[in-house]
Structure 1
Amino acid sequence: MSEQLTEANLDKTYNHHEVEQRWQSAHWEPLGTFEAESGNVICAGKEPYTVLMPPPNVTGSLTLGHVLNHTLQDIFIRYQRMQGCESLWLPGTDHAGIATQTVVEKKLRKEGITRHDLGRKEFLEHVWQWRDEYGGLIVRQLKRLGISCDWRRNLFTMDEGPSRAVRHAFISLYRDGLIYRGKRIINWCPVSQTALSDEEVIMKPRRDKLAYVRYPIVGRSGEYITIATVRPETILADVAIAVNPEDPRYRHLVGSLAAVPLAGRHVPIIADSYVDIEFGTGALKITPAHDPNDYEVALRHNLPVISVVGRDGRMTDEFGYRGMDRFDAREKILADLEDEGALDRTEEYEHNVGYSERADVVVEPYLSEQWFVRMKPLAETALDAVNEGKVAFHPAHWINTYRHWMENIQDWCISRQLWWGHRIPAWYDEEGRIWVADSYEEACRLAGTDKLVQDEDVLDTWFSSWLWPMTTLGWTGEEESNPELEAFYPTNTLVTGPDIIFFWVARMIMAGLYFKNEVPFRDVYFTSIIRDLKGRKLSKSLGNSPDPLKVMDSYGTDALRFTIVYIAPLGQDVLFGEEKCELGRNFATKIWNAARLVFMNREKVFGDMETFRAAHDAFDANHLMQEETPERWILHRYHAMLQAYHQSFEQFRLNDIVKLIYEFFRSDYCDWYLETMKVSLAGASVERSRHVVSVALHVFEGVLKVLHPVMPFITDEIWHHIVPRGQEKSIARTAMPGASAAWVQDSASGFEKVRKIVSEVRSIRALFGVPHEMTAELLLREPDGGNLVNAYGDLIGSLVRCNVHRAPQDGRPSQAAGAVVDGCELFIPLQGLISFEKETARLQKELESVSSYVTRLEKKLANKGFVDNAPEEVVAGEKQKLAEALGNLEKLTANMDVLAS
């Protein structure tokens, strides 16, 4: 006996918890749905498509930023997989040097232990233990988001392969003269006791005192030069006073000496164009050990360098402040300057100050011996690659930011004073000479001695990350190529935030060109910044950052994915509030209910699965192009949507593809085609009924496929209920439907006119308050040759609760509301449908209200003072209001005329 069809194979309501859990844990990953093989590219000739996951910190947990970023990546990869590409999404996590070491040290402190108590080896064992226990949290949470990575390839930046690649990269760059060790001003965290990269420094507004300090001019009694500073504690390290050579106020003092207050040191007054004439007094104290710009001035003028703030943020001077915290010393020095008569005045001053991202303390500019990469030679080729279009940015305006940074690039400080990370492969002999090698044994051979000590520092976390496009494909630098690199490198699309365009995107391009002579990716999609509904960036301190896991619990993962892309236009910020996920949840519910409706009718008209499967497999819509039916119209609209959908992918406008699907399914398919289907099936022949439902299912299945990259769970679930399919199958492995040019060009004008007529009749009924339950008469007068009444009269009548007839060729029925739609006149006689007296009174009252409003607007716009002084957009807004009010007034007057006729 044939298997029976029943809509009961979909529950009455959509249970996202059950569906999401089952598809993620029991089907996709265990069955290898998202695995990619290099052999399919090299041997079978499939087109590769590779997405590189920006590796989240191993200490991290899911944020809305992750949700947006990874959902966008998933949309790209699922789309290309369904387009027939061998699609590989490379996952992984970053060891996050400072963040991870900070977490583990904090844990140890609770046990009364420091890392120094344990020693390096044992401390690292604790870190690895922590990573094994807690470091997989972010991966588990990403899996819950439904992202379709090839999880077999999940990589950690401290794994053996990436570690070998890091050593190779360091050694190669060093031997090519692009890595050196030297003294420079770097960002220093007094708490973490390490150098920081620029991206690990967060700029925050801070109020400080701007102190105006007098420096006596040596040999000129009573004469002094005044400088303004927010860091009076560094006065003790001053080595010069600088003025602009174009500043006439100080030209006579250049070459003189000034006495540094409190320190008593005599320093030269020099001329340097770096000094801003407009800031403060136009005279600048030069403290090269505590300011990078001052350091450059000192190099130009061959000045000495003196440091008075130590690695721990405490004073190291010889003037009585040694051991004091730098901020305590600041207050004490201000008081001592006042006592000495050197303090002219202080002012409140708000400025941006760098804070350590992890320790949340003010970063100290610190002169330190560190390892650096010479960036200019690398930047030149990376800049050319983008200028020549080898890498495209989306939105394109980020190219300007990229160019600015690359043209003004500084050397990269890559050493960190940590224990967790890739240890610098450099050893020192007893004479202080440096031996860079892959191992201690190799360093000993190079040095000719075994009395070597390895550098204590580790490499900046970004040093492993800039190799990520290569190391994720097995590159270690020890081989020319491998099948994975041959098949999948360069990758295709990188999705990332614009805030790391300098620190990661640009560096990956440099590394790819240097080590592989090829860019690492073809396109970079920069995501939006997510803000709350007040426009503020999401942060834990503000309490405005929803927990994505709770949002998924409440609304469903598909709902969150759909919503966050729907509200994220390319290149614009996202204003997110949890309640916005109602949009996604309601859409999922609409999809589910539409499926139940179509499946119910499938059961009625086909009866058993064997009959339906035969019809489903043999479906061919081409003959419909010759018929004037709703089916022809929905297929035209469906293919037009497909065309715009694929074009939006080509243009990287993912926000557009979500809106296209949403509008088509909600309006064209549900509000129009499914509504007409209910009418069409009433009294239709078996053949006609099966025909109508087959079109409904054909289009519905196509919608599921184009929606799958955005809402993977509900689409795979419903797809399996269209016809019986094994659980090892997935919609993710089906072919993405393409647009037919013939169907796109087919106008399907008949039903389009019907749709407009139905909308107009509904509007008229609402305008005149015709009760919904009352059947009206609808008279249609068509242009010569029109056949709407015969072709669609019953359908129109059912949709608007009217008896449809042809109108007389001339004249207008009395007391009838009317309109013209695409040359077709329509009339609804109102006699017997409404109370003319009550409706006239209602319209009169509304007419008076609108007339009064129009008078007020006209008076306002006639006021020259308002028009001349109000902002242009305000005046334009008032004019728009007036135009709309006049339009309403015209409609109300016309309706009054109808009732009076």
Structure 2
Amino acid sequence: MSANLEKTYNHHEVERRWSSAHWESEGIFDAESFRVLDEGKVPYTVLMPPPNVTGSLTLGHVLNHTLQDIFIRYQRMSGKEALWLPGTDHAGIATQTVVERKLREKDISRYDLGRKEFLEHVWKWRDVYGGLILKQLRKLGISCDWRRNLFTMDESASKAVRHTFVTLYRDGLIYRGKRIINWCPVSQTALSDEEVIMKPRKDKLVYVRYQLAKRPGEYITVATVRPETILADVAIAVNPDDTRYADLIGELAIVPVAGRHVPVIADDYVDKEFGTGALKITPAHDPNDFEVAGRHNLPILSVVGRDGKMVDDFGYAGLDRFDAREKIIEDLEKRGNLVKVEEYEHNVGYSERADVVVEPYLSEQWFVKMKPLAEKALQVVNEGKIRFHPSHWISTYRHWMENIRDWCISRQLWWGHRIPAWYDEDGKIWVAESYEEACHLAGTDKLIQDEDVLDTWFSSWLWPLTTLGWTGEHDDNEDLRAFYPTETLVTAPDIIFFWVARMIMAGLYFKHEVPFRDVYFTSIIRDMKGRKLSKSLGNSPDPLKVMDAYGTDALRFTIVYIAPLGQDVLFGEEKCEFGRNFATKIWNASRLVFMQREKVFDSIDEFAEAYLRFTPDPGSLSDAQRWILGRYHEMLSSYHKAFAQFRMNDITRIVYDFFRSDYCDWYLETLKIELAEETDKSRKRHAVSLAVYLLEGVLKALHPVMPFITEEIWHHILQRQTTESIALSAMPQSDEYWTGDEKVHSFASVQKVVSEARSLRAVFGVPHDMKASLIISSPDESARRTFAANAHILTQMTGCSVDVSEGGLRPPHSASSVIDGDELFMPLEGLISFDKEIARLEKELENVSSYVKRMEKKLSNKGFVDNAPAEVIEGEQRKLGEAKSNLEKLQANLNVLCD
């Protein structure tokens, strides 16, 4: 490998050379339990939220998996046995939908094939297409132990699912019963809450009057957005505190069209402010109505079928539910029951996959009792045994856990874990982990297995256990002993209830310990207009194309840099220009350092011999070198604190600011000056070794975020084998010795002088190629020594000859400034044309003065001040203040030239 880098940074070539395939082949990311159990290494485990087997890479995946990769690479470099457990989810509804769509193209339905043959099609599809997202994640450079990749339908995971179901059933926590569930009329299955997407929708709010049976000519009016379900009304409810209806409680009302007599009941559930304050109760078509019916012992009637069509006896049967809605409104008007119709916008649940309105449906399903599980899961979070980042999600978690409902776990699908329950000829249920066990329990082999499968989340709530090989309650293995509980979970906040909470429940129930210690909730990525990314809006960039255009490191760095903990991210593809520019800066700075290495060392081998023994020698360091070492260790201190506090975007900012400003803009510039003037070869070599030492430290700190470019440059520091990796090197630590060095602060004064001298040249238009004089007057002896010792740097970086004195009069026609009590003077005679500069300043003064007068007049206008928004007025006042400040500066500069 050549000693220096190619002239131009080519991310395609670098990423090809250090691909995930290379790292995997060398076992760089393999974690072993024996190192924890036998050698005493501290474990650190991260769980990959399993992407759907149907999925492809999104920017959400990029952010989530990059953050996980940062955590795992950092801890691996910190000396821990770091294990990242990968896997994919079988995604029951999504996968079955994809395969059924393919079959429909051939005019084949799953029923034509039968369950067995259909599942063979699904497995074939999965084998061909199901690994796409894992290939894409590998392109992202993530450092999983890919040997351990788990699919939620693998046999070990399936065995764990069956064991879990049977155990919870026998413990009285799983039951079968009739409840209102989310039903997709297209997919023909129950849906979990996370499979329902709430969307704003405009509907008609229909006001309908019901004749009171025993009070001729009197009515009670209700408002409803679902008039088609009037046919299934069993009561009208009012709030017991609503005085408008106090005398009607206990009366009977006649349901329009159906003619059924139903009672008027009192229930606290009713919102007095909605509609008329009277609510129709239709238990089979609303979960809240179902609860009301239970409290009042009301019958349950259903008029909408599994396919979303009416099944009533009143002339609407066979109509689509929305067509029936329009027809019944017409019929209500004809019958004289329609009072009025208003437009009403509200949030309505849609099936995530079929994109149709979900139907609340009364169905016999399998449920998990959640309250007994939720109590302990809430307790461990309240006690801090599991920490949320950001912490405000605890209140959301607490609210959900305290108001939790039973979990419907059955799905009317064929793809998934089939429910391990069998029915005998009498309809009795036998729950067992196998057919043979069920037959033994039932005393007969004439059993039929339940047709349903389990909710996809029923397998993924076991993820911290099954990824480590757990298959049952008494199962134990070395991986579980070494790596459970895991450490950090990185996930989106929208599945805090459906996955995070349930994993906590499962871990506590089956292992009697929390499944993880920290949960990092990622930001929501939005486009530059603040909209969530979606395919339908066409505002979601393809990450693979972004990586191809800008580089994977650039995308990774950018997306973390702009993602503060707990805040949304506004992302546009063009923002990756920032990350690409930074990668180029790293490359070019490294080339410069390696060029200096070639100048002072006779060979790469000679450098290697010196560098492997190198430690910064305080006696050989210049002020600038002491300063950069102090800044470097301050950077490391802030960097490690940011990690401990889960401030991931801060780590990128901390390293970026140090490298770009301190290392490149200041230190490398001083290095070139010092090397040019230094005659002692050993001091030159020490200086270059220090530059490489700092560069390597920066590369290590950046490696968790930018793995490809850092691996490439690290291999150019020394002649390293391809089997070696920066990923296995030690993360540098902060040393208080250097952060406390007074030289860190003294050289900072040199920097201020350089910046101010450059500013004075710019303000007065002193040409860059003209040598100026800079007089530094300081009453402090220590400061004078610092300025004198660094005069060569001041001269080279400002283009000025430097004179340091204890005090003196200000030279005539001098630009001046004061920095920390030290005065700077730059005589201007002979450098600029005074007449031209005076004319320019007078013209600018005139323009700014006119602007100030206009702004003052505007802000004294009562009509403007009284009518303009407060933020507009504040903005104008701010502009006026800035203009007045500029006016003072211009006048001061003019005075310098007119002295």
1:760 to 733, 748, 756: 756
What is the match of residue 841 of structure 1? 839
How far off is 1:740 after superposition?
0.1
The residue identity in structure 1 corresponding to 2:814 is: A
Aligned 1:172-191 pairs, distance under 5 A: 172-191=167-186
What is the match of residue 707 of structure 2? 712
What is the match of residue 636 of structure 2? 642
Aligned 1:91-110 pairs, distance under 5 A: 91-110=86-105
Q: Does 1:55 align with 2:50?
A: yes
> After superposition, what is the alpha-carbon deviation per residue over 1:552-600, rounded to whole angstroms, capped at 9, x for unaligned?
0000000000000000000000000000000000000000000111111
Alpha-carbon contact 2:461-2:506 (below 8 Å) kept: yes
1:546 to 521, 541, 546: 541
How far off is 1:691 after superposition?
2.0
- C-alpha distance in 1 between matches for 2:87 and 2:53: 9
How far off is 1:826 after superposition?
1.3
Aligned 1:349-360 pairs, distance under 5 A: 349-360=344-355
What is the match of residue 314 of structure 1? 309
Alpha-carbon contact 2:778-2:806 (below 8 Å) kept: no
1:115 to 87, 95, 110: 110
Q: Does 1:887 align with 2:881?
A: no
The residue identity in structure 2 corresponding to 1:330 is: R
- C-alpha distance in 2 between matches for 1:319 and 1:6: 87
What is the match of residue 416 of structure 2? 421
- Give 3-state SS (helix, strand or coil) of 1:211's partner: strand
What is the match of residue 330 of structure 2? 335
- Give 3-state SS (helix, strand or coil) of 2:243's partner: coil
1:770 to 766, 780, 785: 766
Q: Does 1:751 align with 2:771?
A: no
Alpha-carbon contact 2:206-2:338 (below 8 Å) kept: yes
1:555 to 550, 554, 571: 550
What is the match of residue 799 of structure 2? 801
How far off is 1:810 after superposition?
1.8
Alpha-carbon contact 1:789-1:805 (below 8 Å) kept: no
Aligned 1:552-701 pairs, distance under 5 A: 552-624=547-619, 627-685=621-679, 686-701=681-696
How far off is 1:27 after superposition?
2.2
2:828 to 830, 836, 839: 830
What is the match of residue 154 of structure 1? 149
- Give 3-state SS (helix, strand or coil) of 2:19's partner: helix
The residue identity in structure 2 corresponding to 1:554 is: A
Distance 1:303 1:784, change over 3 A: closer
How far off is 1:688 after superposition?
2.6
Once superposed, what is the RMSD of the aligned Cα atoms? 1.4
- Give 3-state SS (helix, strand or coil) of 2:584's partner: helix
> After superposition, what is the alpha-carbon deviation per residue over 1:341-365, rounded to whole angstroms, capped at 9, x for unaligned?
1111111111110000000000000
> After superposition, what is the alpha-carbon deviation per residue over 1:728-786, rounded to whole angstroms, capped at 9, x for unaligned?
00000000000001111223233211110000011111111111111111112122422
Structure 2 segments unaligned to the other structure (5+ residues): none
The number of equivalent residue pairs is 895
- C-alpha distance in 2 between matches for 1:789 and 1:73: 47
Q: Does 1:34 align with 2:29?
A: yes
- Give 3-state SS (helix, strand or coil) of 1:29's partner: helix
- C-alpha distance in 1 between matches for 2:506 and 2:806: 79
Alpha-carbon contact 2:3-2:717 (below 8 Å) kept: no
The residue identity in structure 2 corresponding to 1:709 is: P
TM-score by length of 1: 0.98
How far off is 1:794 after superposition?
1.5
Distance 1:784 1:441, change over 3 A: closer
- Give 3-state SS (helix, strand or coil) of 1:729's partner: coil
Q: Does 1:297 align with 2:288?
A: no
What is the match of residue 374 of structure 1? 369
How far off is 1:861 after superposition?
4.5
- C-alpha distance in 2 between matches for 1:695 and 1:852: 55
- C-alpha distance in 2 between matches for 1:617 and 1:512: 47
How far off is 1:451 after superposition?
1.1
Between 214-223 and 182-191, the greater mean CA deviation after superposition: 214-223
- Give 3-state SS (helix, strand or coil) of 2:25's partner: coil
- C-alpha distance in 2 between matches for 1:48 and 1:25: 23
- C-alpha distance in 1 between matches for 2:157 and 2:854: 72
> After superposition, what is the alpha-carbon deviation per residue over 1:598-648, rounded to whole angstroms, capped at 9, x for unaligned?
111100111212221122112111425x85421111101000000000000
- C-alpha distance in 2 between matches for 1:166 and 1:808: 82
Alpha-carbon contact 1:628-1:751 (below 8 Å) kept: no
Aligned 1:382-421 pairs, distance under 5 A: 382-421=377-416
Q: Does 1:729 align with 2:724?
A: yes
Alpha-carbon contact 2:53-2:131 (below 8 Å) kept: yes
The residue identity in structure 2 corresponding to 1:650 is: A
- Give 3-state SS (helix, strand or coil) of 1:825's partner: strand
- Give 3-state SS (helix, strand or coil) of 1:46's partner: coil
How far off is 1:79 after superposition?
0.1
Aligned 1:149-548 pairs, distance under 5 A: 149-477=144-472, 479-548=474-543
The residue identity in structure 1 corresponding to 2:342 is: E
The residue identity in structure 2 corresponding to 1:889 is: L
Alpha-carbon contact 1:171-1:436 (below 8 Å) kept: yes
- C-alpha distance in 1 between matches for 2:119 and 2:187: 16
The residue identity in structure 2 corresponding to 1:809 is: G
What is the match of residue 780 of structure 1? 776
> After superposition, what is the alpha-carbon deviation per residue over 1:411-470, rounded to whole angstroms, capped at 9, x for unaligned?
000000000000000001111111000111100110111111100000000000000000
- Give 3-state SS (helix, strand or coil) of 1:422's partner: coil
- Give 3-state SS (helix, strand or coil) of 1:320's partner: coil
What is the match of residue 65 of structure 1? 60
The residue identity in structure 1 corresponding to 2:669 is: E
